[in-house]
Amino acid sequence: MDGAGGAAAVSGVLRLVRPALLLAFAVVFLIPVYVLLVTSFKPFAEADPSAAWSLPRHWSVEGWKAAWPVLRPGLANSFKIAISGSVISAALGSLNGYVLAKWRFRGADAVFTLFLFGMFIPYQAVMIPLAGLLTRMELVGTIRGLVLAHVVYGLPICTLIFRNYYVTIPDELIEASRVDGAGMLRTYASVVLPVSGPAFAVTVIWQFTSLWNDFLFAVFLGAPDSWPVTVMLNNTAGSGAVAVQYDQQMASALLASLPTLLVYLLLGRFFMRGLMAGALKG
């Protein structure tokens, strides 16, 4: 009885401690968001670091009005880059993963290993040759060039996700399709693609977030006409103004982060379903 009572007491303590720890971590995580939010709604005279924790005495949207025209071109460019790049990366990764998982050929393991090797090459190592390649292709400084760079660099992780997901599809389905006379593409379209939703959800969310938050490729390979919102945000923070416009900068930071937050709020459950379905299982 004593042992059972002690175990019950420990279990009760853990039930109280776990939510308390989760709540504490959530509060710590949300502190910067709180500062961003309240400062963005302060008038310029109140937006001071010494009063970062206080609520606005006079609520104002002037910071948002000033931030929107500055970031609008960058937001448009970011949507073009992130949406097109994530969709193309997911489509190519799906085809690569399908071939590597279900249409085995001599050297398939070596090819897959080379794909994985691409995940560990840092951006800085390929920046100069990539810039030279895009210059020869007349794509440097364009949105198409940035999309191409991100698609190529995102193929390894996309291929890994889809390949590991397609391994979980029973081989009997593929063999039955072959017996019925379906070729590689017909089997992919009729058997594999309809059950690929979880893997596509994981890949698109992953790539969209990576492309949206990119700064290095954008500032090195882009130009003012193709700069995404991350570069525009950096330019507003380093404008060199005599008086720092904290209200505008905080509003700009929130505007730049809202799309990725909305993606996770709206599609987060699909992301978790994809993970649980085996999209990242080895």
Mean pLDDT, residues 198-208 taken together: 90
Nearest to 66 by CA among 98, 42, 30, 35: 42
Which pLDDT does position 281 carry in this prediction? 47
Task: Spell out the residues 6+ positions from residue 74 whose beta carbon is closer than 8 angstroms to its own.
Answer: 227, 228, 229, 230, 231, 232, 233, 256
Per-domain residue ranges of the chain: 2-40, 62-276
**pLDDT tens per residue, range 16-30:** 788 888 888 888 888
The token pair that represents 50 in the structure block: 């010494």
Task: Spell out the residues 6+ positions from residue 3 whose beta carbon is closer than 8 angstroms to its own.
Answer: none
* Residue 47 Ramachandran class (φ > 0 left, ψ -120 to 50 alpha, else beta): beta
Helices 246-276 and 2-40 sit at what angle, rounded to 10 degrees? 140
58 vs 196: CA distance, rounded Å: 51
254 vs 47: CA distance, rounded Å: 15
DSSP code, position 169: S
Q: How many CB atoms lie within 10 A of CB 281?
A: 12
The DSSP element (H or E) to which 178 belongs, if any, is helix 171-179
- Give the pLDDT band of residue 1 (cuts 50, 70, 90): very low
19-28, 47-56, 203-212: the lowest-pLDDT one: 47-56
Mean pLDDT, residues 138-156 taken together: 92
The token pair that represents 246 in the structure block: 């904290």
Give the domain 62-276 fold: MetI-like fold (1.10.3720)
Q: How many CB atoms lie within 10 A of CB 270?
A: 16
219-223, 225-229, 260-264: the lowest-pLDDT one: 260-264
